[in-house]
Structure 1
């Protein structure tokens, strides 16, 4: 029996993708582990790994095809002894749920022999009982949530990471008589536009700002970097560690709002915004409070390189509990960042500069950096945000306290 291959869901937010490149052609013999194609998701270009042995009988989708819905039939494999003449020239109009094995899959959920199915107007929605219960608690239609589990099944992680689409999002009308060129949006840019619009429309932001003196930190950094050529600690590495430790010191800030529940995290998984051509990604330093500056530095550099090379896996960027966006290296004095749901806060970091300050009644100068904390007011109150920001300030102004 011919084996049908469908567009996989390579991340919980993926609803469609672009088939960037076929790595096989019709008539090729493939086996389990063969890379069939490169697929552009909303985060990166990823390899799609085959799980069956057979011969490529038909490729239904051409290279470069965009907006291929998750679950759409893209190819057929023939098993031993089968004839290509039995394959339909056109893909089925209603695709079966996705069955995938991709390097992108982070969470493996056992599938019961007959997975629970929700019937919504003739559309079959595979989902776990826990996912349906969480969706009901959040007041979300399970049919609206893209599934990333086996066979396209909606699982717990999908519900927790789902942000409802704003029903009345406005698209601005385009006007102007200046010469222009229209450039089609990439999947990444579409996702950024969608998620940040949802964030500003559905998440009640409030902002707190503080100035931080960096002279002690810069002295400590210079001393550390002079001890070895094997590493180079950056100011951002100190900021990541300070934020991770502050989340442990003020655990009320390490939370996410979930409708009628609040999730409190016991580990500081810090997402770090990285600019790449065409957009922005946020790889995660997991358990950053347990890591030293050198390990944080090494991991940040490795993840940033993977991001710029388009090689990030979902486990590299999914599941952060707090975000940092640093534009200081670009000369930006201060700015306000947009929260990345379902996270409840993000720190916007400006540049350090020499400023005149008053200290102990005397006028002097210091290297000062301005930061702004954006908080989700549903999850974090002003007093908690202020306490958290104060802890970050203390760690950065007195870096030796990060050793305690």
Structure 2
């Protein structure tokens, strides 16, 4: 039910719906904590696997362009089908990840950050501040090949300016195997660097870049050099004034070093490293359900927020069998708040941004006060009582109502 005195959101937010349990939780968050408090137009796209199949995945492309046009979007986790999913849903094709399609259109950098709840036990107790993983959204694109048999693999480049072609022998295959060629652009890496440095400045956090430049001297070495170039020319003075630092180290060294620090920094990673390290960070802070995921373009104008977990298939199967929804909705809630805060900043409507920040604070305080869903309750002990998804959202709603009433 809509509350009185709803806050008006000046421009639309693009909503990208998703799959399975995440879709159920998504709707509950929206109906309990977003629409009752905000008068907001949602430009809706259904990225559920059935609709993506019905549209030949055109809906994903249309949704990405809508986010770019509006500047603010919020996305529910979606299925990336494998062979089993193709058979399960009777799909016409094994569609690529919607996130890959969207990132390819929007570009930018993906920031994955945990929600820190004071007092909640975490597997890495020394992490008291967020470890923010910055993933290059467009970097390290690849073309793969299944090598059928004996033969020579070469890598060739033909310049368009008429210069001599370059051809390198990669490997002389004695039999069947596989091959992979990856690529990146200087301009894209520079944007990656600018976005990471700007994010660090805005958050008051140092920035660390990790690469495999020792073994990939040209590929990752170029990334290291471009980051340093951008830092020296555009950000060093601002970082020094703010008392912040930037440094590069090897990926293996950084993976060890991160456990010695309390957090509170941006860790810029090559694309595949970021996928691995963000999973480690999620577990280190307690749960993938506490991870946020924000795609931010280099110019800072366009933001797409998403819960940092998957579609929670196991919970969905239990839900289909009549079980109560007990999935942690914190990640989905924070996806909405991050998108709304950005919408407020774009439109010059601080009341929208303030509402988003208040809702985030209320959510954290609700968990800190002992009201939480099952996966978080298990962090505190095997016998800890827990709330269903709906009960938890109702508790946040009640606490939010009291907070807003007290501020009037």
The normalised TM-score by structure 2 is 0.25
Which structure has more strand as a fraction of its residues? Answer: 1
The normalised TM-score by structure 1 is 0.26
Q: Highest CA radius of gyration, 1 or 2?
A: 1
